[in-house]
């Protein structure tokens, strides 16, 4: 099958999960062409598996100090460029478009009448899952930013809906897990300013904080360890730590739950997906949430015990099987099979 695969480049989580599915589809013999948008090519990391790929401007959501900035988002929007990319995108010979919240490929498939699959956490929201209160604009944006005809949604729990378990990086299955240090805390708050994060965690000198996000150069300051982007280093710190403080995205909390790390989520203000993730995390009793950098909540969370590993299995295999089957309306058969292989939740999906 010839597949055009769109990847939203603004978040490392999109790249991480798309990397796993693209690899699997290529291993299964499919011809996969990739489009990445939302970030310039020189800012993208570890995307070799996507070759051959194209990088387009797409759409980028602007944030500042932990809050969505819709005004700046609108100012940087280039609708003429966006529609030009949509119209001129070559879909000749393409059998299926897969979009991981990537708008150019999603809109091109809709305009040109090709079947499309939405792959990722955002595509769980058409189903009955925990959803935070938000404005009609926020809900409309979430459901229509990169819409698809068929939805391969992902979540940490099935909620008795036809959604798949999280896609865990292959490296976390293969790697031998090092001993865990309960006083090592991984912090990944890319929507916060580094100075604000430092002020937040510095008083807790009984713990070692490994801080990723808007860090340009590695440096150490007593019990604070600032780290620039390194997927290998990040995964090592994730496996060694006793807990994770992060924004309420989807991929990193899923990886932490897989490994059994306790979680404290800080959702991005004004972003209904992250607010909903924080709500689901608390409702499932998988972790805690805070709506600002609250040292009292951090102090309480640090004293809590760790989680038991949820040990998610390789759901990407079931997603690839569903895609190859062409039975895109028969989603539940494949989601139920995927959850039967997982320890968390079990039962129907």
User: Which has the minimum average pLDDT: 26-30, 98-102, 208-212, 313-317?
Assistant: 313-317
pLDDT at 168 over 70: yes
- In which band, very low, low, confident or very high, does the pLDDT at 344 lie, cut at 50, 70 and 90? very low
Average pLDDT of 277-302?
A: 97
Average pLDDT of 286-297?
A: 97
What count of Cα atoms within 13 Å lies in the side-chain half-sphere of residue 287? 31
- Tell me whether residue 96 is in a domain: yes
Q: Are residues 191 and 82 in the same domain?
A: no
The tokens of 159 are what?
Answer: 């909620």
pLDDT at 174 over 60: yes
pLDDT at 72 over 60: no
Q: Which helix (H) or strand (E) holds 83?
A: helix 79-88
| Cα 277 from chain centroid (whole Å) | 11
Rounded CA-CA distance 117/99 in Å is 6
Q: Are residues 294 and 210 in the same domain?
A: yes
Query: What does the pLDDT look like over 108-156, one tens digit per residue?
Result: 999 999 999 999 999 999 999 999 987 777 787 788 889 999 999 999 9
Q: Are residues 103 and 209 in the same domain?
A: no
Query: What does the pLDDT look like over 19-68, one tens digit per residue?
Result: 999 999 999 999 999 999 887 777 777 788 998 899 887 666 655 554 55
Query: Omega into 193 within 30° of 0, i.e. cis?
Result: no
- Tell me whether residue 239 is in a domain: yes
Q: Which domain, by its residues, includes 82?
A: 2-168+313-340
Strand partners, 186: 210, 244
Query: Over pLDDT 90: what percentage of the chain?
Result: 69
Give phi and psi for 240, each to the nearest 5. -85, -25
Q: What is the pLDDT of residue 263?
A: 98
**Which pTM does this prediction carry?**
0.89
Query: What does the pLDDT look like over 297-340, one tens digit per residue?
Result: 999 999 999 899 999 988 999 999 999 999 999 999 999 999 98
Q: Are residues 59 and 164 in the same domain?
A: yes
The CATH number of residue 61's host domain is 3.40.50.2000
- Tell me whether residue 346 is in a domain: no
Number of domains in the chain: 2
């Amino acid at each position: 099958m010839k597949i055009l695969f769109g990847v939203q480049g603004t978040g490392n989580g999109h790249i991480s999960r798309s990397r796993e599915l693209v690899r699997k589809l290529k291993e299964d013999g499919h011809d996969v062409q990739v489009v990445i948008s939302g970030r310039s090519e020189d800012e993208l990391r570890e995307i070799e598996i996507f070759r051959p790929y194209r990088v387009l401007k797409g759409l980028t959501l602007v944030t500042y100090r932990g809050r969505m900035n819709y005004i700046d988002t609108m100012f940087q929007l280039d609708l003429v460029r966006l529609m030009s990319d949509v119209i001129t995108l070559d879909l000749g010979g393409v059998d299926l478009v897969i979009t991981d919240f990537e708008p150019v490929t999603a809109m091109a498939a809709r305009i040109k009448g090709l079947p499309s699959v939405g792959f990722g956490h955002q595509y769980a929201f058409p189903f009955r899952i925990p959803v935070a209160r938000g404005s009609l604009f926020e809900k409309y944006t979430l459901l229509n930013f990169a819409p698809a005809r068929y939805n391969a949604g992902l979540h940490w729990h099935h909620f008795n809906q036809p959604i798949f378990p999280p896609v865990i990086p292959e490296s976390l299955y293969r790697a031998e897990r090092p001993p865990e240090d309960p006083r090592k805390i991984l912090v990944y708050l890319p929507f916060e300013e580094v100075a604000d994060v430092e002020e937040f965690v510095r008083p807790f000198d009984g713990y070692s904080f490994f801080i990723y996000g808007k860090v340009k150069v590695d440096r150490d300051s007593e019990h604070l360890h600032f780290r620039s982007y390194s997927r290998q280093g990040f995964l090592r710190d994730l496996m060694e730590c006793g807990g994770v403080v992060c924004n309420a995205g989807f991929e990193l909390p899923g990886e932490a739950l897989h490994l059994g790390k306790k979680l404290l989520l800080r959702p991005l203000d004004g972003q209904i997906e992250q607010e909903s993730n924080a709500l689901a995390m608390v409702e499932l009793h998988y972790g805690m949430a805070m709506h600002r950098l609250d040292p009292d909540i951090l102090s309480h969370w640090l004293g809590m015990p760790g989680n038991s590993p949820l040990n998610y299995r390789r759901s990407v295999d079931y997603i690839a099987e569903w895609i190859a089957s062409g039975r895109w309306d028969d989603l539940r058969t494949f989601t139920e099979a995927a959850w039967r292989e997982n320890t968390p939740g079990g039962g129907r999906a």
